[in-house]
Amino acid sequence: MTQQRDIERLLDHWFADGSSVAPDRVIDVVADRIERQPQRPAWRLDWRHLTMNPLAKVGVAIAAVVLVAFVGYNLLPGGSTGIGRPGPTVVPTASPTAVPTVVPTAAPSPAESPSAVFPTWFTPESDSRGAGILSAGGHATRFFQPAVTYTVPAGWVNDSDATYFGLFPDTPANQAEFARSGETADGILMGFHDGPYFACEGLEHNRGTAAEMATATAANDILMVSDVVDVTVGGLTGKRLDVRTNPDWDGTCPGDPPGSDYADGRTRAFLLDVPGRGVIVIFLGSKHAASHEAFLAPATEIVESFDFTP
């Protein structure tokens, strides 16, 4: 039985019994389906799927069930305008001929706007809300919070603007990597995270403030860290550091497929403290060292142009 039919069967029994509490199985299935929504990984920072925490997932599941229950109840025979009460009898009456009126159509919201144009070789995530190809000059995030203004040169693309924010250059290297793996080779990714990792989630414990995260990263033997400096970006203070996998590390990362090798990856990280909210993590990541230096200069300039609005 499919998950969809399973949900329908459980809801049918729920309504038939007159229950007011959702079965645990319904919440579990809905939460599981939310968890399984496909997410494009980002270099070794595979934390896009963590932007909704478990409590939020349960809340979404419960809200979905309550909505289905409310709509379904009011569609049952004898459904009403008030909960549990039959609606008033409608007596048809003659009405005058309606005069056609012109009602202006509301402009689509940014989330619904079809104006975003992406490179022909790239397919964004369905819920990314990215603005697409950007013109050279100043721009602002539309959904990511805190709001950010930033400046880009020509040839850059905003692929995500939701709980995380992403940019990448439209380059042959990115096009080739996307055709090969479905990921970009070089890009900027920004979001709140309480435990970002660079090479192996199971072997890294980078938590706390921006300074504490940087210290834990530098102390980890599986990583090679350089150029740790204090930075201020857009009014937020924190740390900047360059990170790669230690070439002397010959271990394996728990949970990785056999033969996985991420030694060629390079990352410049900005860890910025946001009082009362945690740490904004900005990764300037490259899957391959060969393209990293050429990518790093314009990417760093973009990040340094960030201006955060409380």
Question: Per residue in 4-60, pLDDT tens?
Answer: 444 555 555 545 555 555 555 555 554 554 444 434 433 344 433 333 333 333 444
Q: 109-126 b/e with 16+ CB inside 10 Å = b?
A: eeeeeeebebbeebebbe
Name the phi and psi angles at 209, rounded to 5: -75, 175
182 in a domain, yes or no? yes
Distance, CA of 238 to CA of 305 (rounded, Å):
16
61 against 197, higher pLDDT: 197
Cβ contacts of residue 127 below 8 Å, gap of 6+?
162
DSSP string, the chain: --HHHHHHHHHHHHHHTT--S--HHHHHHHHHHHHTS-----TT---GGGSS-HHHHHHHHHHHHHHHHHHHHHHSTT--SBTTBPPPPPPP---PPPPP---PPPPPPTTT-TT-B--TT----TT-EEEEEPPSEEEE-SSSSSEEEEEE-TTEEEEEESSSEEEEE--HHHHHHHHHHSS-SEEEEEEE-SS--SS-GGG----SSHHHHHHHHHT-TTEEEEEEEEEEETTEEEEEEEEEE-TT-----TTSPTT---TT-EEEEEEEEETTTEEEEEEEEESSHHHHHHHHHHHHHHHHT-EEE-
Does residue 70 sit in the same domain as residue 135? no
Q: Are residues 272 and 142 in the same domain?
A: yes
Pairing label, strands 147-152, 137-140: antiparallel
What is the per-residue pLDDT for 257? 78
Q: Is the pLDDT of residue 122 over 70?
A: yes
Which strand ranges, in their side-by-side order, compose the sheet holding 307-309? 137-140, 147-152, 307-309
Sign, CA torsion 49/54/59/65 = positive
Domain shared by 36 and 170, yes or no: no
Q: Is residue 160 predicted with pLDDT exceeding 70?
A: yes
The reply to whether 179 and 299 lie within a common domain is yes
151 and 27 housed in the same domain:
no
Q: Which pLDDT does position 53 carry in this prediction?
A: 35
Q: Do 60 and 206 sit in the same domain of this protein? A: no
pLDDT digits (tens, 9 = 90+) for 166-193: 999 999 999 999 999 899 999 999 999 9
Same domain flag for 190 and 297:
yes
Same domain, 172 and 260: yes
Q: Tens digit of pLDDT for each residue in 187-246?
A: 999 999 999 999 898 999 999 999 999 999 999 999 999 999 999 999 999 999 999 999
What is the pLDDT averaged over residues 83-97? 43
pLDDT of residue 250: 87
Q: Which of 261, 266, 263 is nearest to 294 (CA)?
A: 266
pLDDT of residue 41: 38
Q: Is 176 helix (H, G, I), strand (E, B) or coil?
A: helix
Residue 80 lies in a domain: no
Provide the token pair at 199: 């090479």
Considering the domain boundaries, does residue 297 fall inside one?
yes
Alpha helices for the chain (secondary structure H): 3-16, 24-35, 54-75, 172-181, 210-218, 289-304
Give how many domains the chain has, as a whole number: 2
Output the CA–CA distances (angstroms, integers) from residue 291 to 117, 139, 197, in the order listed: 25, 26, 21
Domain coverage including residue 61: 3-75
Same domain, 196 and 62: no
Answer with the residue of higher pLDDT: 125 or 297.
Answer: 297
pTM of whole model > 0.85? no
Q: How far apart are CA 132 and CA 115, in angstroms?
A: 9
- Same structural domain for residues 27 and 168? no
Does 50 share its domain with 163? no
- Per cent of the chain over pLDDT 90 is 54
Mean pLDDT of the chain: 76
Which residue, among 68, 62, 54, has the nearest Cα to 24 in the 3D structure?
A: 62
**Same domain flag for 225 and 300:** yes
What is the pLDDT, as a whole number, of residue 299? 98
Looking at 117-209, list the stretches that DSSP marks H as alpha helix, in order from N- to C-terminal side: 172-181
| The last residue of a domain, from among 32, 53, 75 | 75
Structure tokens at 82: 């008030």
| 225 within a domain of the structure (yes/no) | yes
Among the candidates 55, 75, 95, a domain finishes at 75
